[in-house]
Amino acid sequence: MSHSNYINGQWQEPISGDYKNNVSPHDSQEIEEFPVSTEADVQKAISSANKAFPSWKKLSYQQRGTYLLKAAEILEENTEEIGRDLTLEEGKTLTEGIGETRRAINILKYYAGEAMQPIGSVIPSANSETTVYTKRTPLGPVGLITPWNFPIAIPAWKMAPALIYGNTVVIKPADLTPKCVYHLMNAFHEAGLPAGVVNCVFGRGSVVGNELVENRGIKGISFTGSNSVGRAIQSKAMANGKKVQLEMGGKNPLVILADAGIDNAVELAIKGAYQSTGQKCTATSRVIVEEEIYESFRDRLIERTQSLKVGNPLVDDSFMGPCVSQSQYETVLRMIDQGKNEGNLLCGGESIKTSELENGYYIQPTIFELSSQNARIATEEIFGPVIALLKAADYQEAVQMANDTEFGLSASICTNNLSRAQQFIDQIEVGMVHVNSETAGAEPQIPFGGMKNSSDGPREQGKTAIDFYTQVKTVYYDQHR
């Protein structure tokens, strides 16, 4: 089956007539065809978004919110189908695929609710006859470039605030997982969103993404993906006068103190590192354990890791599915090979090629014991099911090790010591801190983003999303003149 771009309220074939199949990571089978778009397709979409902007901007917040609620209802009616399609093309378990679909629905509902919230403030003036207040104005048409690892949740969490605050949208989804964004666009289409308010152009980032970044008809770029691509986008976009929001990599630590319950700490590490095959920017990739319980924790972690079920979740209820693509699979295996030269392989470390899984991109959950954080697998984002396990002499060394990274997205501490937990919250250099919970996880109403080289620009999600998608206008209103 062939799908089309969504431009100006219509499904339109790409100008080139070229299509590409997305491929299932479970068995390498082709699924459906999606456009290989050109700059001309993007230009049509940007023109459409610009034409739609003035009338969309004039609608009240509540009017815009009704479209988000209707789209959420349509997604809700098709949750099982969408979740299965997500699992088919991305590789998550079916439970995770359905869960992510529900998350996208909740995001739309949350931002529909933001239509009833304050959007400015009144500020006292030194002049008794002057009223000063602020209001928010939308940027205009915005370009959204989204990744494959949360193929419906991240597009939703970028599109929903963009729309409720009065912007129009051109989105370029990841070419590995196009079907999920197709479902999202179809929900907006069926909800009756005015033509041109949302536009979707499928294709390569080097073509579609580049045109979004360089075309002056786009006023802001929100990007989630790798650091190298993000920084290149930032440089080009800012040179063209665009507002930029970047969400990039992480090397997230889970710090486990000696007073922690070992079984609970192990479960936090397992969930954080291996769910979604470790393909989360917030995944636990470093586990730093105080030496008093290090050996007990290590042995239990190995035991639990070896007990995990890896397989095709479309066939059985596996805990962990495949890597998203052959390229990602090969990247993870290269990093594992690097790790074998840098540390002690405790378990895993190989691809899985059984008769049932021989054509998929499956890798064993893997643990490396490291004596130094200078190892590549302790410093570089792997985006796969790999734990770098490290020992710390005490709390102070554990925090120093946790902060010794270019990234600062998420971190967690496992402890029953309230004072240590508060110290960690204050001392850890990340945008999101967890106490006795895994490093992964995000809720629609809560700001999402990191420090250092993990993020740039205003935070995503929650009430802080307004800071990227709007500009502040200050009004001085004199009563008499």
| pLDDT cut 70: percent of the chain above it | 100
247 a catalytic residue:
yes
Pick the catalytic residue from 100, 211, 247, 438: 247
Quick: pLDDT tens for 225-255: 999 999 999 999 999 999 999 999 999 999 9
- C-alpha dihedral (471, 473, 474, 475), degrees to nearest 10: -170
Pairing outcome for strands 252-256 and 284-290: parallel
Name the pLDDT band for 441 (thresholds 50, 70, 90). Answer: confident
pLDDT at 147 over 90: yes
Mean of per-residue pLDDT scores for the chain: 96
Contact criterion met (CB below 8 Å) for 286 and 251? yes
Query: What pLDDT shows up at residue 355?
Result: 87
pLDDT at 480 over 80: no
- 225's tokens: 């993906």
pLDDT at 481 over 70: no
pTM, two decimals, is: 0.96
Q: Which long-range contacts (CB under 8 A, 24 or more apart) does 2-5 make?
A: 2/32, 2/33, 2/34, 3/32, 3/33, 3/34, 3/35, 3/178, 3/179, 3/182, 3/202, 4/35, 5/35, 5/37, 5/41, 5/45, 5/199, 5/200, 5/201, 5/202
Query: What pLDDT shows up at residue 218?
Result: 98
Bridge-partner residues for 12, per DSSP? 5
CA distance 319 to 54: 48
Quick: pLDDT tens for 307-351: 999 999 888 888 999 999 999 999 999 999 999 999 999 999 999
Query: What pLDDT shows up at residue 1?
Result: 80
- 150's tokens: 């949360």
CA distance 427 to 393: 18
Enumerate residues 6+ apart whose C-beta is below 8 A from 374: none
Query: What pLDDT shows up at residue 317?
Result: 81
Per-domain residue ranges of the chain: 5-248+454-478, 252-435
Cα→Cα distances 352→12, 265, 270, 279, 306, Å: 41, 27, 19, 17, 13
Helix axes 153-164, 94-113, angle to 10 degrees: 10
Residue linked to tokens 């629905």: 105
Name the pLDDT band for 128 (thresholds 50, 70, 90). Answer: confident
Contact criterion met (CB below 8 Å) for 258 and 290? yes
Residue linked to tokens 């079916």: 94
CA distance 366 to 411: 20
Quick: pLDDT tens for 166-188: 999 999 999 999 999 999 999 99
Residue 336's nearest CA partner among 348, 325, 353 is: 348
> What architecture is domain 252-435?
3-Layer(aba) Sandwich (3.40)
> What architecture is domain 5-248+454-478?
3-Layer(aba) Sandwich (3.40)
Name the pLDDT band for 6 (thresholds 50, 70, 90). Answer: very high
Highest mean pLDDT: which range of 117-126, 159-168, 472-481: 159-168
Pairing outcome for strands 252-256 and 243-247: unpaired
Cα→Cα distances 86→158, 279, 283, 322, 452, Å: 18, 14, 19, 13, 31
